[in-house]
């Protein structure tokens, strides 16, 4: 029974939020899984659906590229290069000399697509449907380790993984000349380093080493047209070229150097900025193998998102440039998200997977994880959840929680849906019993869900899980307490 003079208050509860990555659990374990913030509400992150089994029985695709001029996709699986057309059907067009490891793909304006795999360079001409390999038996030899390829100003540009150098092809190379030309070689010179990638971005060439990054410009001289920009100093290199993602006026990568822990950097065409906070930097520093990572950038319903997956550590993070917040993404079992690389093709996002050699469609119109080409098979609920920040009074006084009230979309489907709530009374160290409530079905559109008489605490955290094969739109929540 409340005593005389009891003060009852209602305060906002941060059911809408991102993932904070605080260093210690006592600070906060705030996190959001498979949801993001849009217009102040918590809404679903995209679901996916398998669209094409390119090479059944294979564990992982190696590379994905969209040719805008050819209007086809290129996918590398094991030792094979496939072309995927507008009808979403695949045709094998060539064989690589390797069957594992990262590959990188680019194209020129002469109907040629170039692939590098760390061993050699391959050229596929889609006008003549011919595939060429530069190897040790070919006089057009590639005596370096081609680990990344880009195209700019009529040149293919290839990074050498065995040195600090990077090479240009001849002007408008038709694939009939060697990439190796001592007069067309650049080198990282800021500090001793090894090349990781060279990528054309915003009329500049970003040359990544392991410990530093340089920006070069095409100044038009005849022998070697590039000149380093000495006004920009980037004392971070790139841990893995597969984390480099370019789009929407941004170049993003997982950065590091010889004396710093991993961090995530973004450039709009000059000196970059960290987008990772103290908390995420601490989290990245605790990973077992942060260099085993891949990432991509894409736009979902107007939000520009950078998704990075750490494979060895089995975790995926999303950064939303619209809200400047991080979120977590998972598969249906709570492991890392399966998307490895993504393209936008025929008004649809398609990705290759880290679990098989299939092509998947990804969209917020898809509200499950569908991993079969047959309807109704392997249609998984997406595990969506939100863990709030700690609620404490300034003097650490105890309080009794009368009610949690959630404002959310209800009554818009006949699908079964449920919200589970669990409460931690020890600051997030452990959670107690689960209280579940069914979401009202069509046409009962009352938008308030309440959890009542939750006991006393002085440092509480709430965990909400959203179950169902239909969308959840959470507008906000309040907590009523007395002391």
What is the residue-wise DSSP string for 386-451? EEPPPB--TT---EEEEEEEEEE--SS-SS-EEEEEEEESSTTS----EEEEEPPPTT----EEEE
pLDDT for 383 equals: 97
What are the structural domain ranges in the chain? Answer: 8-45+385-482, 47-380
Q: What is the pLDDT of residues 99-141, one digit of tens each?
A: 999 999 999 999 999 999 999 999 999 999 999 887 645 544 5
What's the CA gap between 47 and 468, in Å, rounded? 13
pLDDT for 470 equals: 95
- The residues that bridge with 30 in the sheet, in sequence order, are none
Beta-strand runs (E) in 279-347? 293-300, 303-310, 315-320, 325-329, 339-345
pLDDT for 182 equals: 63
Instruction: Work out the average pLDDT over 326-339.
Output: 97
pLDDT for 173 equals: 61
Q: Distance from CA of residue 228 to its chain's centroid? A: 30
Distances (CA, A) of 243 to 240, 246, 307, 310, 317: 6, 10, 9, 10, 12
Q: What is the pLDDT of residues 170-205, one digit of tens each?
A: 776 655 445 666 667 899 999 999 999 999 998 999
Q: What is the pLDDT of residues 434-447, one digit of tens each?
A: 999 999 999 999 99
Neighbouring C-beta atoms of residue 435, cutoff 10 Å: 14
Options 2.60.120, 2.30.29, 1.10.287, 3.40.190; which CATH number does 8-45+385-482 get?
Answer: 2.60.120
pLDDT at 41 over 80: yes
Instruction: For the chain, give the percent of residues with pLDDT over 70.
Output: 94
Cβ proximity of 330 and 338 under 8 Å: no
Residue linked to tokens 């809404």: 43
Cβ proximity of 278 and 23 under 8 Å: yes
pLDDT for 5 equals: 47
pLDDT at 255 over 50: yes
pLDDT for 389 equals: 94
**The two structure tokens encoding residue 82:** 């496939």
Bridging pattern class, strands 41-44 and 47-53: unpaired
Residue linked to tokens 């160290």: 429
Q: Would you state the CATH architecture of domain 47-380?
A: 7 Propeller (2.130)
What does the DSSP 8-state code read for residue 224?
Answer: -
Q: Is this prediction's pTM over 0.85?
A: yes
Q: What is the pLDDT of residues 58-86, one digit of tens each?
A: 888 999 999 999 999 999 999 999 999 99
């Amino acid at each position: 029974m409340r005593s005389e003079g009891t003060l009852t208050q209602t305060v906002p509860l941060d059911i809408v939020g991102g993932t904070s990555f605080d260093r210690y659990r006592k600070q906060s374990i705030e996190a959001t899984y498979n949801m993001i913030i849009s217009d102040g509400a918590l809404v679903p992150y995209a679901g996916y659906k398998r669209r094409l089994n390119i090479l059944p029985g294979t564990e992982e695709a190696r590379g994905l590229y969209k040719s805008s001029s050819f209007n086809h996709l290129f996918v590398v699986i094991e030792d094979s290069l496939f072309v995927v057309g507008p009808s979403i059907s695949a045709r094998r067009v060539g064989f690589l000399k390797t069957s594992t490891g990262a590959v990188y793909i680019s194209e020129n304006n002469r109907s040629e697509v170039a692939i590098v795999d760390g061993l050699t360079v391959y050229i596929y001409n889609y006008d003549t449907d011919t595939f060429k390999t530069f190897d040790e038996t070919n006089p057009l030899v590639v005596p370096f380790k081609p680990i990344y390829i880009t195209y700019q100003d009529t040149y293919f540009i290839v990074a050498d993984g065995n040195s600090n150098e990077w090479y240009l092809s001849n002007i408008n190379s038709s694939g009939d000349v060697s990439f190796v030309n001592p007069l067309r070689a650049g080198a990282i010179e800021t500090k001793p380093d090894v090349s990781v990638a060279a990528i054309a971005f915003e009329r500049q060439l970003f040359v990544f080493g392991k410990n530093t990054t340089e920006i070069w410009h095409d100044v038009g001289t005849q022998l070697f047209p590039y000149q380093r920009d000495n006004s920009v100093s980037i004392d971070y290199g790139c841990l893995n070229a597969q984390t480099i993602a370019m789009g929407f006026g941004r170049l993003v990568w997982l950065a590091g150097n010889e004396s710093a822990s991993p961090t995530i950097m973004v450039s709009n065409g000059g000196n970059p900025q960290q987008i990772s906070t103290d908390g995420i930097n601490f989290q990245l520093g605790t990973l077992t193998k942060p260099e085993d990572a891949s990432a991509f950038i894409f736009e979902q319903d107007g939000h520009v998102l950078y998704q990075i997956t750490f494979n060895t550590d089995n975790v995926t993070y999303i950064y939303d440039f619209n809200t400047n917040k991080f979120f977590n993404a998972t598969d249906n079992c709570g492991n890392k998200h399966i998307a490895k690389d993504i393209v936008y093709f025929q008004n649809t996002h398609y990705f290759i997977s880290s679990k098989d050699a299939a092509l998947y469609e990804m969209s917020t119109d898809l509200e499950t994880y569908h991993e079969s080409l047959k309807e109704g098979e392997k249609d998984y609920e997406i595990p969506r959840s939100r863990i709030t920040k700690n609620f404490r009074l300034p003097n650490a006084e105890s309080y009794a929680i009368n009610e949690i009230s959630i404002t959310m979309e209800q009554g818009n489907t006949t699908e079964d849906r449920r919200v589970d709530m669990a409460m931690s009374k020890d600051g997030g160290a452990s959670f107690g019993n689960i209280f579940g409530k069914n979401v009202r079905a069509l046409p009962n559109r009352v938008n308030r869900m309440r959890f009542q008489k939750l006991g006393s605490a002085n440092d509480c955290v709430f965990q909400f899980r959203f179950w169902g094969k239909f969308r959840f739109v959470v507008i906000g929540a309040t907590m009523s307490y007395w002391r």
